[in-house]
Structure 1
Amino acid sequence: MARLQIVDPHIHLWDLWTRIYPHFETPSADGSNAAICRSYLIEEYLREGGDEFEIVGAVHVEAFPTDPIKETETLQKVADANPLPLVIVGNGDLTSPDFPALLDRHQQFSIFRGIRQVVNMHPDPRRSYVSRDLMAEPGFLAGLRELGRRGLSFDLQLYPHQMETAAALAAKAPDTRIILNHAGMWADRDLGGWKQYKAGLRALAAQSNIVAKISGLGMLDNHWTTESIRPLVLESLEVFGTERAMFASNFPVDKLYTDFRTVWRAFSDITRDLPEAERTRLFRDNARKFYRIPA
């Protein structure tokens, strides 16, 4: 039986010898991330699928490097040395006056496809990734528009209560493809939080330039099962449809909670009743399309 082909649109490859990932050199105080505080290289990643899944492309998403250009340069060398089609979503600050110049430097590398700037803020400061409301700054919209002018995309990582703001910004940058990370990170796991999440997804999906990446579900559901993630996956697919959604592993981060094959088996089980053409879009073809990955 043929292996299921995957283009994985959300992975992280980090080599600690580059010295641009100090946050992975020492485990956190509680030791919860100790298993990934080491180099994670493409050779290990390519073994994750085993005999069950065939990885035919991947997208490295920035891993909070201290030197964004060095990260892109390093990944270009990795891509050049391996047959796997590999592209990168780099790091950058949309609000910086130097953002266009940074893009010029990133675009020297053929694997560069766009930028991720995490904007997650939460009333509980322990859940916030940033200390200021980036989307409220005028430069953020200017940065989004600059990406669109260059044919580049933006990876959007946020929480549900920020989705309406993001949707309004997307409407003002219609030429920029925006890729929602981790299915929108449903963080507040009560009825009110679920209603807010559903409404936020619909606000985002109303903008035709936004697509969804279903990934990273273990980060907010550490002991997840296929059944615990099924409602979230089905909600995302209902809202965005199979033409504007894709599955991803978020490895090695989600390696803290599960193994690679379990992630993809769950996605496969949840979508087993879909027509094969729709499954192929979710597992392979949409990622190729949205990130411009050669077959």
Structure 2
Amino acid sequence: MTDDDLPIIDAHHHFWKLGSGHHPWLEGAHDIPFRYGDYSAIKRDYLVDDFRRDHGRHNVVKSVHMEVEWDPSDPVGETRWLHELHDRTGWPHAVIGQAWFARDDIAGVLAGHAAFPLVRSVRQKPAAAPSPDRFVAGAPGSMADPAFRAGYRLLAEHGLHYDLQTPWWHLGEAADLARDFPDTQIILNHTGLPSDRSPAGIDGWREGMERLAAQPNTAVKISGIGVPGQRWTPELQGEVVRETLRIFGAGRCMAASNFPVDSLCASYDEIFTGLKAITADMPQGDRRAFFHDNALRIYQPA
């Protein structure tokens, strides 16, 4: 099998159609603080034809759509829109919805998502400290907050996973969450956000990743690792990718583009050609698991 033939399930990407006010961060008058800086280049419609053009020669056979901060007053509205898109185009093949576990209406939101056949998981980005030295255990909105956990425990009733996006210094709380709710699968987004590539930053990130990986009901998506101002290359990203594969094992890692967001720092081809180069020495079965089989098992795309 050549690299061009290698089947890919893109485990994390986005679609959006602007103009209806559903995406405040993309349509509002004021930008939000963003880890890649200026994101004006993605303030445009991004739909199936755009995604197909971007993935180009790479053999993307299915995809998993991640919620994209749709208007939180109607979190199930995005799920409804995505099912209409799937009915018209066949894409995406699995959906991750928006949910806020401490909200009074969380039971209804989860039931609303679960009523749609493509929904496999939900995401909330728990309250995060801006740096490791400002981390406060159990802060309101964090994974140790009793209100967060009261809503989180409802996931098991619907058989839903939890997609977690948080900086690595919160991964100890994530490990505790995984331990205390062993029947709920946690999928860490964006590789634990290893934005600090200094030796101390990588050491802290590695420790957090190892704590989370010690819980068997966890997995990780290798995505979202762009570094502002630097080209996405195997040389820049190799350590993070290889360490993640070592820590979690090839059976719990998934490849993903985070497109179109990561188009701010790389082309689709740069990301997937880079991931293929970094993993070129892996056994064929492990490589196929990373690019395809793990996402197939975890998300069960239609």
TM-score (normalizing by structure 2):
0.89
Q: 2:12 aligns with which of 5, 10, 13?
A: 10
1:92 corresponds to which letter in structure 2? A
Instruction: Give % identity.
Output: 37
CA distance in structure 1 between the aligned counterparts of 2:262 and 2:88, rounded to whole angstroms? 26
CA distance in structure 2 between the aligned counterparts of 1:153 and 1:27, rounded to whole angstroms? 32
After superposition, the Cα gap between the structure-2 partners of 1:177 and 1:257, relative to the gap in structure 1 and judged at 3 Å, is: same
Unmatched segments (≥5 aa) in structure 1: none
RMSD of aligned Cα (Å)? 2.3
3-state secondary structure, aligned to 1:53: coil
Aligned residues of 1:27 and 1:37 also touching (Cα < 8 A): no
2:115 corresponds to which letter in structure 1? Q
Instruction: Give the match for residue 215 of structure 2.
Output: 207
2:31 is the alignment partner of 1:28: yes
Instruction: Give the match for residue 171 of structure 1.
Output: 179
CA distance in structure 2 between the aligned counterparts of 1:85 and 1:38, rounded to whole angstroms? 19
Aligned residues of 1:118 and 1:158 also touching (Cα < 8 A): yes
How big is the shift at 1:214? 0.4
Q: Deviations over 1:73-109 (max 9, x none)?
A: 0000111112345211010111123211111111221
1:15 corresponds to which letter in structure 2? K
Q: 1:58 aligns with which of 42, 60, 63?
A: 63
Aligned residues of 1:183 and 1:214 also touching (Cα < 8 A): yes
Instruction: Give the match for residue 42 of structure 1.
Output: 48
CA distance in structure 1 between the aligned counterparts of 2:246 and 2:153, rounded to whole angstroms? 28
3-state secondary structure, aligned to 1:207: coil
CA distance in structure 2 between the aligned counterparts of 1:179 and 1:156, rounded to whole angstroms? 6
Instruction: Give the match for residue 141 of structure 1.
Output: 149
CA distance in structure 1 between the aligned counterparts of 2:166 and 2:228, rounded to whole angstroms? 13
After superposition, the Cα gap between the structure-2 partners of 1:235 and 1:263, relative to the gap in structure 1 and judged at 3 Å, is: same
Instruction: Give the match for residue 93 of structure 1.
Output: 100
Aligned residues of 2:111 and 2:158 also touching (Cα < 8 A): no
Q: Deviations over 1:29-52 (max 9, x none)?
A: 9981111011111111012122x2
Query: What pairs with 1:1-295 in structure 2 (closer than 5 Å)?
Result: 3-25=5-27, 28=31, 32-50=38-56, 52-66=57-71, 67-84=74-91, 86-119=93-126, 121-123=128-130, 132-218=140-226, 222-294=230-302
Aligned residues of 1:56 and 1:85 also touching (Cα < 8 A): no
- Paired residue total: 290
Q: Deviations over 1:129-182 (max 9, x none)?
A: xx9542232122233321123211000111111111110111001000000000
3-state secondary structure, aligned to 1:136: coil
Q: Deviations over 1:251-288 (max 9, x none)?
A: 00000111101100010000001111111111111111
